[in-house]
A = this chain, B = another copy of it.
């Protein structure tokens, strides 16, 4: 399965990497891009990431067999009322956002309450703290998971098309419900990003101040790398997965408070138990999943 033309809406790290990958695999004959500003689109042309671009949505959508929303989540949500009425029969709409439930609701609202059959929401679990089309790579999705969240109303051909697109990038495809996705990602990705951003702000306010990076060992660098992620993207994720994220933060705070109180009480046994339990959980479930 292959398509003639793919339209990428929002040409950043993920959109650019998808463009590179579907072109080099031959899944798409050409890739065009649409955005509000021409800067990243022009850069995409210069870097050979895309074949063409347009600042006009009607022009950009002409002859596109797949439309991929790859802008920040709230921009995607705002575009849906414009996009859905322009979608010809047989054209597939998908996305790469880190939150699925919010976007599904936005699509239903823009579609008179019904789930659009041509819509297949998806989320590649790949990324980098480096942003923008300049950091894009055709190999970004190889051996990474892509979660696809079809609904009962989803057109089977549309689902097959999106699965084929991700298969062509070398990714492994997993299907689950949008709510399950959002709970999972709140725990494994959204919460850790909040913790890393918070560590930076907490350290910036501390006496140790700016000397910190001079004396930071490898573990610290690993821990804080994700605090260099795109603030606009993460603002949208925090807003769009608000309820799940709040639950994850509150659960985390309760556990942190228990540890804090054990430190204050100098309760060595409890600290040891907490650390052993954490290490055991990580060692057991990360086994065989390390990239190196």
Which residues of A line the B interface, CB within 8 A?
125-127, 129, 144-145, 147, 174, 183-189, 191-208, 210-229, 231-232, 234-235, 238-239, 242, 245-246, 248-257, 259-260, 262-264, 266, 268, 271-272, 274-279, 281-286, 289-291
Q: A183-B208, A188-B215, A260-B246 are in contact. Are A201 and B278 (CB under 8 A)?
A: yes
Q: How many copies does the complex hold?
A: 2
Question: Would you give the shortest CB distance from A194 to chain B, in whole angstroms?
Answer: 6
Q: Decide if B277 touches A220 in the complex (CB within 8 Å).
A: no
Q: CA–CA, A33 to B187, complex, Å?
A: 44
Given A192-B199, A275-B231, A222 and B220 contact (CB-CB distance below 8 Å): no
| Contacting residue for A256 out of B125, B198, B204, CB 8 A | B198
Give the chain B neighbours of A217 by CB distance below 8 A.
Answer: 125-127, 144, 188-189
* CB-based contact A221/B291 at 8 Å: yes
Per DSSP, chain A at the interface is helix
Contacts of A221 in B (CB 8 A): 286, 289-291
A212, B252: Cα distance in complex, Å: 15
Which residues of the other chain, B, contact A214 by a CB distance below 8 angstroms?
145, 289
User: Given that A213-B289, A246-B264, A272-B232 are contacting pairs, would A195 and B195 also be in contact in the complex, using a CB cutoff of 8 Å?
Assistant: yes
CB distance from A160 to the nearest CB of B (A): 23
Kindly list chain B residues whose C-beta atoms are within 8 Å of the C-beta of A277: 200-201, 204
Instruction: List 19 A–B pairs whose Cβ atoms lie within 8 Å, in order of A's numbering.
Output: A129-B219, A184-B212, A187-B212, A192-B224, A195-B195, A197-B275, A198-B256, A201-B255, A201-B274, A202-B254, A202-B256, A219-B229, A223-B226, A227-B278, A234-B275, A238-B262, A239-B268, A246-B264, A253-B256
Q: In the complex, are the beta carbons of A245 and B263 less than 8 A apart?
A: yes
Q: Is the CB of B278 within 8 A of A198?
A: yes
Instruction: Choose among B210, B248, B282 the residue that contacts A200 (Cβ–Cβ < 8 A).
Output: B282
Q: Is the CB of B197 within 8 A of A278?
A: yes
The reply to whether A268 and B208 contact each other, CB–CB distance below 8 Å, is no
* B256–A242 touching, CB < 8 Å: no
Chain B residues near A215 (CB-CB < 8 A): 125, 145, 147, 174, 184-185, 188
